[in-house]
Amino acid sequence: MSGARLARTVRHAENAGLTFVTFADAVVPAVPGSPASARLDAVTRAAFVARTTTAVGLVPEVPTTYPEPFHVATQLASLDLTASGRAGWLASVTPGDAAPAAYGRAPVADLDREARDVVQVVRDLWDSWEDDAVVRDVATGRYVDRDRIHRVDFVGASFSVVGPLITPRPPQGQPVVLARSGDVAGPGRDGERLVDVVLVGGTDVAAARAAARAVVAADPGARAVVEVQVVLDAAGRTGADRLAELDAAGPWAPGTALRHVGDPAGLLALLAELADDPAVAGVRLLAASLDTDLPVLAREVLPALRADRRTAAPRSGATLRDHLGLTRPADRFAGAARATA
Amino acid sequence: MTDPTPQTRPADETAHPITRPGAEVHLGVFFQGVNHTTIWSDPESGSQTDFASFERVARTAERGLFDAFFLGEGLRLRESRGRLHDLDVVGRPDAITQLAALAAVTERIGLVATQNTTYNDPVDLARRLASLDVLSGGRAAWNVVTTDNAWTGENFRRGGYLDHARRYDRAEQVLATARRIWDAWPDADRPDGSVARVEAHGDLLDVAIDPTTPRSPQGHPVIFQAGDSAQGRDFAARSADVIFSRHGSVLADALEFAADIRARAVAAGRPEDDVKIFPGTAIVVGDTPAEAEEKARWVARQQVTPATALHVVGTIWAEDLSGYDPDGPLPAHDPVVAELGGEGGSSTTGARTHEVAARWRALAEAEGLSIRDLVIRVSGERGFVGTPSAVADRLVRFVRTGSVDGFNISPWIIPSGLDDIVDRVVPELQERGAYRTAYTGTTLREHLGLRAPLTRRGAGAADAREAALAGV
């Protein structure tokens, strides 16, 4: 839970050659009342490692359901600035009654609609400053060109935001948006993509590959990433033994992710099978224990993937968009005021 | 824009007795981000958003053994007559996000995030501040501010729902809720090892949560408060560790403010020195008094550009004066507005407009001032101007007369604006035995010499605890 430990873990992930790390989050704990549920805010954790790393993508989970969209947009734009274009956003939904009780609000009935509205307005806000809005024109005394900063005037089903953002456009233009399949249904208001990277799963490899193909069929520009839980043979114990022990403490919900329990060679075979489908752009490895599984991934899995050219270590100075093959989007408001002036 | 304030001459300051002879000066730095006092037109002025600018200032402050690095908060961009205000530095990162990144590249300096209690959810705010506090090893602080205007609320789910009179009630309830969340995690006071559920139900908020954030080494983030109204002062006296004041340029004024805060703290059941006083200020130094004065004049003219001067006067006249000559006289006609509207983000109200205009006109006529000179003249306290030695003498006098505990310095240029102070003023303070020569603690609470958080002082401080948790 300390800053030093967090920095060490993420640096290890970067050195292992992972493309991005995600920071899971939830405002309410899985097991109320237990110190085992300790968890710090995801954006704050990602920001803490923004300058202790130089290449790896940083992807905090931020729910769409209750937080203030304006703050979410500001925080993620700030993370992208601080991390020099390496920020992503895992946009999630928060069902249940615990979160609305924490926020003092009625439960959101339509999670899909709320998620769509929030991702839409956050994307609008990221574009509310054009890239060249700061002009520093000494002759006229203008620091910014007000024609290049736009209100968003977003009106959603449960909230509205006028904008513009308080933060200039982030380095990637739009930080990369990730979401689990089905959590944020696009397209956006003008037919644009709301989710850049869709996280998919399946009961087996074939199902996961099919899910990935469905993502790409619906939007050829989107990326499909398969979630894989891993419990590796490590520290002299089998993955199966480790999983049994974990489950005894509280079952590890499989969710929709694939799961590999066993040796690194088996994981490599699974990953190769996934990667053979061109629709699969990558995998999100969900380690049972970072302390235990990450060293094995770094030592025995990632080098083999690189040797087979199935992945490349992220490059310092490149953006997360670069690493995922996503282009930097044009600003949706660019030229709007001038066009009508 | 503040009203003209007569400058007390440093010589007059020696009349006040030294009541705290061994007291040390504490310093903080405020990276402002949005205002006209940050010069952007000079070639030395760097980026307002690149991380490198923030890191440079924070590291310089840490080299100078400062207590804290402050960031403001933005909720909506300023507007003027319905259009975006374009003359000042604007556009900044989220405070807590930026401070978290800075926490990893600094070791000791405190990290203060300005955060509004109206347009933040208590659970998010408490959790993000606690996260920064844990990750930084106990260096986080929250500068509590309030807002009530509906204009700002247009960016938020909750909208502009709060009565002006109730803004501090909401602040009190949010802060008390945050304290309950910060106290929920097990420690020596909760030896059974369980996490307490927090139920906070005030008339302005409703929170029920099982908190997930462990304690930091300093117990709670340090609480700063920045409001100057009677309500704001009472709130600080009941609930804050530090008040970030506007009373640090004129010693007599600073002493009066300090006496007022101490009286209010005692009335709230706290020791009189329990609330530390940190006025905001600026410092300009030169090798000679004349050189410092010359530099201060240059700074003022860079801050008040011709366009800014016309804008400031235009704000009072409520019309576009951009066609006027900034080096010429004020408009010959009186302001014609009864009520000023559409000045988003400004506190100037219509009722005061005529009064201010009349005063400015009298001042300009009496002293023969142009529009730009007048705006420079009325731009309020100019802080401390002089040789490093003379500035150090005055800073020490302010602290040792008991008027303040330290100063929160706003550099007028980013990112180099703190260099002179750290390289030239701090050594002078150290020579006088009035400044630390090394950090002695690791947490911000230790740097500031604060007692335990108000809710964590045991049975002897039950009144203070009750006051700090009032309202929810």
pLDDT tens by residue, A219-259: 999 999 999 999 999 989 999 999 999 888 777 776 789 99
Query: Considering only alpha carbons, which residue of chain A is nearest residue B92?
Result: A167
Query: What mean pLDDT is predicted for residues A146-162?
Result: 96
Residue B391 sits in the same domain as residue B373: no
* Range in A83-92, A287-296, B190-199 the model is least confident about: B190-199
| pLDDT tens by residue, B32-52 | 888 888 999 999 999 999 999
Residue B273 lies in a domain: yes
Residue A332 CB-density burial (10 A; 0-12 exposed, 13-18 middle, 19+ buried): buried
Residue B337 sits in the same domain as residue B453: no
| Cβ separation A70–B155 shorter than 8 A | yes
Residue B408 sits in the same domain as residue B431: yes
Bridge partners of B280, per DSSP, are: B408
Degrees (nearest 5) of the Cα angle B86, A82, B88?
15
- Judge contact between B140 and B129, C-beta under 8 A: yes
| Chain A interface test: which of B41, B85, B86 (most A C-beta within 10 Å) | B86
Is some CB atom of chain A closer than 8 A to the CB atom of B442?
no
Residues 117-176 of A with CB under 8 A from B: 129, 133-134, 136, 138, 140-146, 149, 158-164, 166-168
Residue B201 lies in a domain: yes
- Judge contact between A44 and A306, C-beta under 8 A: no
Residue B294 lies in a domain: no
Residue B322 lies in a domain: yes
| pLDDT tens by residue, B108-154 | 999 999 999 999 999 999 999 999 999 999 999 999 999 878 899 99
CATH of the domain at B266: 3.20.20.30
B51, B103, B104 member nearest A81 (Cβ): B51
Alpha helices (H) in B116-250, listed in sequence order = 122-135, 150-153, 167-182, 230-239
Residue B273 sits in the same domain as residue B340: no
**pLDDT value for B158:** 82
Using a CB-CB cut-off of 8 Å, the residues of chain B touching A166 are 74-77, 91-92
Using a CB-CB cut-off of 8 Å, the residues of chain A touching B186 are 35
**B330, B345, B377 - which closes a domain:** B377
Is some CB atom of chain A closer than 8 A to the CB atom of B82?
no
Distance between CA atoms of B18 and B398, rounded to whole angstroms? 9
**pLDDT value for A337:** 58
Using a CB-CB cut-off of 8 Å, the residues of chain B touching A35 are 185-186, 193-195, 214
Residues in chain A: 341
Residue B350 sits in the same domain as residue B369: yes
| Chain A interface test: which of B51, B124, B155, B442 (most A C-beta within 10 Å) | B155
Residue B325 sits in the same domain as residue B237: no
What are the residue boundaries of the structural domains of chain A, listed by start?
197-325
Degrees (nearest 5) of the Cα angle A127, A133, A138?
170
The count of other CB atoms within 10 Å of the CB of residue B297 is: 14
Degrees (nearest 5) of the Cα angle B454, B456, B462?
70
Distance between CA atoms of B395 and B403, rounded to whole angstroms? 10
pLDDT above 90 for B317: no
ipTM over 0.95: yes
Query: Confidence band (pLDDT; 50, 70, 90) for B422?
Result: very high
Using a CB-CB cut-off of 8 Å, the residues of chain B touching A152 are none
Using a CB-CB cut-off of 8 Å, the residues of chain A touching B308 are 141
**pLDDT value for B190:** 66
**pLDDT value for A58:** 98
Residue B362 sits in the same domain as residue B405: no
Longest dimension (CA), chain A: 72
| pLDDT tens by residue, B187-202 | 766 677 789 999 999 9
Residue B298 lies in a domain: no
| Cβ separation A29–B210 shorter than 8 A | yes
Residue B296 lies in a domain: no
Query: Considering only alpha carbons, which residue of chain B is nearest residue A2?
Result: B135
Residues 214-253 of A with CB under 8 A from B: none
CA distance B78 to chain A (A): 10
| pLDDT tens by residue, A15-67 | 999 999 999 998 888 888 877 788 999 999 999 999 999 999 999 999 999 99
A44, A48, A82 member nearest B93 (Cβ): A82
List the one residue out of A71, A117, A115 whose CA is nearest residue A93: A115
Chain mean position to CA A293: 21
Is some CB atom of chain B closer than 8 A to the CB atom of A54?
no
Distances (CA, A) of B313 to B78, B310, B333, B412: 17, 5, 13, 22
Query: Considering only alpha carbons, which residue of chain B is nearest residue A4?
Result: B135
Distances (CA, A) of A231 to A201, A238, A254, A290: 17, 9, 12, 10
Distance between CA atoms of B173 and B161, rounded to whole angstroms? 16
Query: Confidence band (pLDDT; 50, 70, 90) for B467?
Result: confident
- Judge contact between B436 and B24, C-beta under 8 A: yes
Rama region for B52: left / alpha / beta (φ>0; ψ in -120 to 50; rest)? alpha
| Cβ separation B154–A158 shorter than 8 A | no
A47, A138, A146 member nearest B83 (Cβ): A146
List the one residue out of A154, A179, A288, A317 whose CA is nearest residue A230: A288
Alpha helices (H) in B318-440, listed in sequence order = 350-367, 371-377, 388-400, 419-420, 426-431
Distance between CA atoms of B28 and B7, rounded to whole angstroms? 23
Residue B312 sits in the same domain as residue B420: no
A52, A70, A102 member nearest B207 (Cβ): A102
Rounded to a whole number, what is the distance in angstroms from the first to the last CA of chain A?
53
Query: Confidence band (pLDDT; 50, 70, 90) for A325?
Result: very high
| Cβ separation B94–A74 shorter than 8 A | yes
Is some CB atom of chain A closer than 8 A to the CB atom of B134?
yes
Output the six-digit token pair for A322.
């670069």
Distances (CA, A) of B5 to A208, B8, B89: 71, 9, 25
**pLDDT value for B165:** 86
% of chain B at pLDDT higher than 70: 93
CA distance B216 to chain A (A): 10
Q: What is the DSSP string of A109-166?
A: S-HHHHHHHHHHHHHHHHTSB-TT-EEEETTTTEEE-GGGB----EE-SS-EE----S
* Range in A225-229, B206-210, B252-256, B353-357 the model is least confident about: B353-357
**pLDDT value for A109:** 94
Output the six-digit token pair for A15.
């050195």
Domain that holds residue B367: 305-377
Give residue for tokens 């150090």. Answer: B392
Using a CB-CB cut-off of 8 Å, the residues of chain B touching A37 are 195, 210, 212
Query: What mean pLDDT is predicted for residues B440-467?
Result: 91
pLDDT above 80 for B348: no
Distance between CA atoms of B62 and B77, rounded to whole angstroms? 31
Report the half-sphere exposure of B355 (CA within 13 A, side-chain side). 7
Residues in chain B: 472
Using a CB-CB cut-off of 8 Å, the residues of chain A touching B128 are 41, 43-44
A139/B158: higher pLDDT: A139
Residue B433 lies in a domain: yes
Output the six-digit token pair for B414.
């980013």
Using a CB-CB cut-off of 8 Å, the residues of chain B touching A98 are 209-210
Is some CB atom of chain A closer than 8 A to the CB atom of B105?
yes
| Cβ separation B195–A134 shorter than 8 A | no
Distance between CA atoms of A73 and B377, rounded to whole angstroms? 40
Query: What mean pLDDT is predicted for residues B280-290?
Result: 96
Is some CB atom of chain A closer than 8 A to the CB atom of B186?
yes
**pLDDT value for A339:** 45
| Cβ separation A2–B134 shorter than 8 A | yes
Query: What mean pLDDT is predicted for residues B197-209?
Result: 95
Residue B55 sits in the same domain as residue B178: yes
List the one residue out of B204, B208, B121 whose CA is nearest residue A97: B208
**Long-range contacts at B196-203 (CB < 8 A, ≥ 24 apart):** B197/A32, B197/A33, B200/B122, B200/B173, B200/B176, B200/B472, B201/B472, B202/B169, B202/B173, B202/B176, B202/B177, B202/B471, B202/B472, B203/B169, B203/B173
Residue B191 sits in the same domain as residue B250: yes
Coil, helix or strand at residue A290? helix
Query: Into how many domains does chain B fold?
Result: 2
Residue B293 lies in a domain: no
Residues 135-164 of B with CB under 8 A from A: 135-137, 154-157
Contact residues for A107 (Cβ-Cβ < 8 A; gap 6+): A96, A97, A100
A84, A101, A140 member nearest B307 (Cβ): A140
Is some CB atom of chain B closer than 8 A to the CB atom of A85?
no
CA distance A40 to chain B (A): 5
Rg over CA atoms, chain B: 22
Residue B30 sits in the same domain as residue B148: yes
CA distance A11 to chain B (A): 13
**pLDDT value for B381:** 66
Helices (H) and strands (E) in chain B, counts: 17, 15
Residue B264 sits in the same domain as residue B402: yes
**pLDDT value for A251:** 76
**pLDDT value for B136:** 98
Residues 258-277 of A with CB under 8 A from B: none
**Helix (H) or strand (E) run with residue A281 in it:** strand A280-287
**B358, B377, B396 - which closes a domain:** B377
CA distance A153 to chain B (A): 9
Using a CB-CB cut-off of 8 Å, the residues of chain A touching B150 are none
Output the six-digit token pair for B339.
């009520």
Output the six-digit token pair for A221.
């520009």
Output the six-digit token pair for B134.
């844990």
**B356, B377, B398 - which closes a domain:** B377
Q: What is the DSSP string of B18-86?
A: -S-TTPPPEEEEEE--SBSSS--SSTT---SSSHHHHHHHHHHHHHTT-SEEEE---SS--EETTEE--
CA distance A177 to chain B (A): 18
Distance between CA atoms of A294 and B333, rounded to whole angstroms? 74
**pLDDT value for B353:** 80
